[in-house]
Structure 1
Amino acid sequence: MLYAIIAVLSAVLFVLGVRRDRRRIANAVWLGLTLVFAFLWLVSRDDLPVWLDDAIGWAVLVGVLGAVLVLPVALIVNGVVMLRREGRGLANLLSLLTGVAIIVLVAFFVLALADERTWVHAVVGSLVIVAAYVAFLFVSLLLYSIIYGKTGRRTGFDAVIVLGAGLNGSRVPPLLASRLDRAAAVFRREVAAGHAPLVVVSGGQGADEDVSEATAMRRYLIGRDVPEELIVLEDRATTTEENLRYSRALLTERGHTGRTVAVTNNFHVFRTAVLARRMRMRLEVIGSRTAWYFLPSAFLREFVALLARHPITHTVLPGLLVALYLLLVLR
């Protein structure tokens, strides 16, 4: 019964949080807690039909085997693909490193089962608790990011901000092209509805780029029948936060007070929304499609970036869980 009460309370807080502001990280946490305690309530019941009880058991077994066997191998394979297609940057190593970390943790856990020393159990148990904390947050944020990206306003915008991404010299690569294609589609939909929004292309020039991202983006959109006079160039930004801040300033200069939407890739939508909330910007964020092989590392990178915004919280909370576990094990 306790699990059911906690699940209901978490669900209520999730709904209230979404109604208050869809861009809150806490919404993802309440969603995760709702699912966890609803599952615990379900499996703790002793009045389930036999077929449902068996189905849950098989589902748990498949999930565990998938998490400890299939997932790490898939992440390592994805990491190799990323290295071959995108280069050896640290961000491209994230899926490979995560896969290796899962394998190492599983190996330590299996070895600890055969070891009777208390300190070994304490160390491995602490690692498992930290890993469970990180996994809970990652899955919660991933699920809520998907929900956020599939909901919200899709029409009625007076301005469109397109966030930049890296160029190949002066050429727009597929990742950035997908954002621009989505922005062009939004523009055409608004034109069909009777008004043409301003389109802000935002992105500075990197050391390995021949022109600013904004310049290449404007050229791309003109080729997609977006009128040049409606495209606003923002060519200073080097981060997502600067994309939003500088674009807002340009729109304010032009007297814009209507609804705004930011366009980025689907994996980047929720972090962009969180940043916009922190900057007190009222805007929607919508995402474009991303190549399948790019998604695991991209979501991991976004997850790390979100955790890095609250380092104390995500140090203290798992630290308290580990301390409680050690008190129980070593007493």
Structure 2
Amino acid sequence: MIFLFSYGLTALILLAFVVSYLRDKRRIRVGMLLTSGLLLLAFSLMISVIQVADDNAAVMYAAAFGALAFVVLLPLLVIGTGAGLLYNARILWRKEGFKPKNLLTLGLGLLIFAYLGLLLFSPLWTDREELALPIGLMTAVTAYFGFVFLCYLVSCVLYNLVRPRAPRDYIVVLGAGLKGDKVTPLLAGRLKRGIAFYRKQEDLLYTPPVFVVSGGKGSDEIISEAAAMRNYLLEQDIPDAQIRMEDQSVNTLENMAFSKKIMDAESGAGKYTCVFATNNFHLFRAGVYARKAGLQADGIGSKTAFYYLPNAFIREYVAILSMYRKWHMLLLGTLVILFGLMALVLWWSNRSLGA
């Protein structure tokens, strides 16, 4: 009976995922529904295996071996992840320099090892019972953020699989900082991705799309990002008549909103089609901001050096957490209250027993 309910709930969640995905791929709930559905499916299969194992010794031994392998491999996976993050931080510093924004892999790697060190004081193998609830709370918080990160990664993968097709009226290229008055390799990758889409549309004999290069001038920049991108496109033989500049934005949401104003003014609201070009790690969050700005557009992502991806994805994840911080604070606050009530109940019980 339990496994039937479990399979039914799994089917319901996966159906909700399909509906949400078809309605709008640019929502974090799409990844949450798919992740939850797959985890529940794994749980349902485990229940089925246990029921079969009661009547089949071979299946029982195979299930026991699988459970043992999971117990052994999970800690190794966590340790390997922490070590990999620290190693990646070293590579990132060597290639990109020691900058605050490049410290995320180092910080997460150190947090993983700090948490593993804390588990050494767990009541499971020590007599420090007073640490049970604090360690339990930290484990619950870690599991929560780990689950949200997994959902975020699933959302990113799903959105990167979207392939917008020609023809489109506009290509919005999002800014990403400059080196002097020139585009950085990161920004050049975005522009090259947009140019590839432009050339493909030309080859299909459609009217070429118009570029909207979006990015203002930072306090440490000589010219605006939009101006530098325009110069790059001109060097790549893109006609000036096919370029529009949006040079007032300072973040991704403004990139989308201000670019939309330009396209609305030129073509009329809702009377054009467009795509936006950015790096693959930034694609999903950019899509979320496009939705918030009311822009009906999906993205095309440029490839990023592999060593840069872990730090970039962590930074994007932190930005997504900040975007929905009220919900996360509410859920974490609920966790803290529950563990606080448990601590109060235990204290009262110990006091009653002492009396």
Matched, 1:156 2:167: yes
Q: Secondary structure at the match of 1:177?
A: helix
Q: Superposition RMSD on alpha carbons, in Å? A: 2.1
- Paired with 2:61 and 2:166, the residues of 1 have a C-alpha distance of 45
Instruction: Give 1:37-48 correspondences, 5 Å limit.
Output: 37-45=40-48, 46=50, 47=52
Q: Name which one, 1 or 2, has greater alpha-carbon Rg.
A: 2
Corresponding residue number in structure 1 for 2:107: 97
- Paired with 1:74 and 1:97, the residues of 2 have a C-alpha distance of 12
Q: Secondary structure at the match of 2:166?
A: coil
Corresponding residue number in structure 1 for 2:56: none
The alpha-carbon deviation at position 301 of structure 1 amounts to 0.9
- Paired with 1:51 and 1:153, the residues of 2 have a C-alpha distance of 49
The alpha-carbon deviation at position 110 of structure 1 amounts to 2.5
The alpha-carbon deviation at position 228 of structure 1 amounts to 1.6
Q: 1:154 to 1:53 in 2, by over 3 A?
A: farther
Corresponding residue number in structure 1 for 2:333: 319
Matched, 1:133 2:144: yes
Q: Is the 8 A contact 2:121 2:128 kept in 1?
A: no
TM-score (norm 2): 0.87
- Paired with 2:260 and 2:62, the residues of 1 have a C-alpha distance of 53
TM-score (norm 1): 0.93
Q: Is the 8 A contact 1:158 1:196 kept in 2?
A: yes
Q: Is the 8 A contact 1:130 1:322 kept in 2?
A: no
- Paired with 1:28 and 1:84, the residues of 2 have a C-alpha distance of 34
The alpha-carbon deviation at position 274 of structure 1 amounts to 0.8
Corresponding residue number in structure 2 for 1:226: 238
Match of 2:306 among 282, 288, 292: 292
Corresponding residue number in structure 1 for 2:22: 19
Corresponding residue number in structure 1 for 2:88: 78
Corresponding residue number in structure 1 for 2:275: 261
- Structure 2 residue identity aligned to 1:233: M
Match of 2:131 among 105, 120, 123: 120
- Structure 2 residue identity aligned to 1:167: L
Residues 186-221 of structure 1, C-alpha deviations (whole Å, 9 max, x = no match): 111111222111101111122222221111111211
Identical counterparts, % of pairs: 34
- Provide the aligned length of Structure 1 versus Structure 2: 331
Instruction: Tell which deviates more after alignment, 86-95 or 139-148.
Output: 86-95
Q: 1:145 to 1:55 in 2, by over 3 A?
A: farther
The alpha-carbon deviation at position 6 of structure 1 amounts to 2.9
Q: Secondary structure at the match of 2:276?
A: strand
Q: Which runs of 5+ in 2 are unaligned?
A: 54-58, 347-355
- Structure 1 residue identity aligned to 2:39: V
Residues 259-291 of structure 1, C-alpha deviations (whole Å, 9 max, x = no match): 110110001111111111122211111211011
The alpha-carbon deviation at position 3 of structure 1 amounts to 3.3
Q: Secondary structure at the match of 2:216?
A: coil
Corresponding residue number in structure 2 for 1:87: 97
Residues 223-276 of structure 1, C-alpha deviations (whole Å, 9 max, x = no match): 222212101111121111111111111112212521110110001111111111
Instruction: Give 1:202-217 correspondences, 5 Å limit.
Output: 202-217=214-229
- Paired with 1:242 and 1:229, the residues of 2 have a C-alpha distance of 24
Match of 1:143 among 128, 139, 154: 154
Matched, 1:182 2:193: yes
